[in-house]
Structure 1
Amino acid sequence: MTQATRVVAQGTFDLLHPGHVHYLEDAATYGDELHAIVARRSNVTHKPAPILCARQRRDMVGALAAVDEAHLGDPDDVFVPIERLDPDVIVLGFDQHHDESDIADALADRGIDCRVERASGREPRFEDELLSSGDIVDRILRRRGDGDR
């Protein structure tokens, strides 16, 4: 019997939107089981802090059919859950800021043998569809900003 191919996708997943769903569905095609790691607020340093708490984001991601199991990231070391899960493939999001070769080097330094792939992108399917948490926040601020209450 062959071992299942374990895939890891990771991200902030704040204000879950169709772009996130596409990323996770695409990542799931790389193997037999998909584990999603949801970043803790303390690890999100490249963009504004998440609106939603980590557990809520994890629960939302875990409710998606493509995800076999959702995990919280480690508050101090983003590679701890990777070491524990021992994936065959890590799939980065289409627009995530991570560099594939830097991730591969860091994995090799830790003795983690897995390949790194990049998920495909997704275009909006209709005029008003938003595929970015930042765009969702901006729209909320425009519509509910000062004087629009």
Structure 2
Amino acid sequence: MKRVVAQGTFDILHPGHVHYLSEAAAMGDELHVIVARADNVTHKPKPVIPSDQRVEMVEALDPVDHARPGHPDDIFVPIEDIEPAVIVLGHDQHHDPDAIRQALAERDIDCEVVRASAREAAEGEEFLSTGRIIEKILRERGR
């Protein structure tokens, strides 16, 4: 069984998330998704949707076999538990693949680290970013 891990915040799901998770699922037999806890999101605004609801929404997606919240202190604890063959990073995630490979090696975790492709935007208005969705909501329905 080839396990694959994808991870992210997954705040306000959009087609870019579905593309990422579908591509990750195609790389193995079982897709595990680690959903960042709100307290651990420091590289962008905190999620709008609570962590438990984001896990529930991600787990409901067809490509996903298992979803769980990230560890509160150590992002590699779920990786050690899952024992994946591949970790798939989103095309625009801030993570440095080489730094992840080094941390995995230091923990004797043998798995490949790859980056997913970007989804090509369809004709017309398509939202592939939670930030863009929030901006549109504020523009059209904000005070």
Query: What's the TM-score bracket when you normalise by the shorter of the two chains?
Result: over 0.9
Q: TM-score, normalised by structure 2?
A: 0.98
Q: Which runs of 5+ in 1 are unaligned?
A: none
Larger Rg, first or second structure (1 or 2): 1
Per the TM alignment, residue 126 of structure 1 is displaced from its structure 2 partner at its CA by 2.7
Q: Which residue of 1 aligns with 2:24?
A: 27
Q: Summarize the alignment of residues 7-18 of structure 1 with structure 2, pairs less than 5 Å apart.
A: 7-18=4-15
Letter in 2 for 1:113: D
Per the TM alignment, residue 101 of structure 1 is displaced from its structure 2 partner at its CA by 0.6
Letter in 2 for 1:105: Q
Give the distance between the partners of 1:31 and 1:129, measured in 2 at CA: 28
Q: Which residue of 2 aligns with 1:6?
A: 3
Q: Which runs of 5+ in 2 are unaligned?
A: none
Letter in 1 for 2:7: Q
Q: Give % identity.
A: 62
Q: Note if 1:79 corresponds to 2:64.
A: no
Q: Which runs of 4+ in 1 moved over 4 A?
A: none
1:114 to 107, 111, 116: 111
SS at match of 2:23: helix
Per the TM alignment, residue 143 of structure 1 is displaced from its structure 2 partner at its CA by 0.7
Q: Which residue of 2 aligns with 1:123?
A: 120
- 1:56-112 Cα distance to aligned partner (Å, 9 max, x none): 001111001100111110111111111111111000001101111111001111111
CA RMSD of aligned residues (A): 0.7
Q: TM-score, normalised by structure 1?
A: 0.94
Give the distance between the partners of 2:115 and 2:68, measured in 1 at CA: 20
Letter in 2 for 1:130: F
